[in-house]
Amino acid sequence: MRIAEECQVVAGIIPVDLQTAANPGDWVSMKNYDHLSIIVYTGVGTDDDDEVITLDQATNVAAAGTKTLNIKEIFHKVGDTTVADVSLFTRVTQTAANGYDTVAIDGAENEAIYVIEIDRGELDGDNDFDCVQVNVADVGGNAMIGCAFYILSEPRYAGIEAIGN
């Protein structure tokens, strides 16, 4: 699958030290895509500086009407410092909640990849919510470099954009 041509890959959080401040991702629009895969990717941090990931939804990419988009499923690879040795993802489910705290899987002490899969039907479409933002809270007082990507798939049309309304 030629992702550059068949999907839309968008920068969510440009690589940054996640302890600098809260890390709101850019907004992406699902108006023209049925599915969104959010990939959060982090290096090793320090005990207790676990990433807390949340999602918001809005009616446009300027964040109108922002409200929580609950998370009930997350996939992760968390390496015992070395995520390269982890082959397959672990799927975690939870009661729909405002975010996912990686403390339970020691996100802070390990390299990690998280994938969150979202169908457009999970958003409040009845009220025109079709935009999504990923957020990673300030991890604490120690350095942890991380970033996030969005991959939008199942386009309504070929070659459509995902960063405008």
Which residues of the shown chain bind other proteins in the complex (CB under 8 A)?
1-5, 7, 9-11, 14-17, 26, 35, 37, 39, 41-44, 75, 77, 83-89, 91, 111, 113, 115, 117, 145-147, 149, 151, 153-154, 159, 161-164
3 state SS of 49: coil
- Whether the CB-CB separation of 39 and 149 falls below 8 Å is answered with yes
Nearest to other proteins of 59, 148 (CB atom): 148
Min separation Cβ 48 and other proteins, Å: 20
Nearest to other proteins of 60, 75 (CB atom): 75
Min separation Cβ 82 and other proteins, Å: 9
Min separation Cβ 84 and other proteins, Å: 4
Min separation Cβ 93 and other proteins, Å: 13
Nearest to other proteins of 103, 113 (CB atom): 113
Q: Long-range contacts for 77-86 (Cβ within 8 Å, ≥24 apart)?
A: 77/112, 77/113, 78/102, 78/105, 78/106, 78/107, 78/110, 78/111, 78/112, 79/110, 79/111, 79/112, 80/110, 81/44, 81/109, 81/110, 81/111, 82/111, 83/110, 83/111, 83/112, 83/113, 84/111
Nearest to other proteins of 125, 164 (CB atom): 164
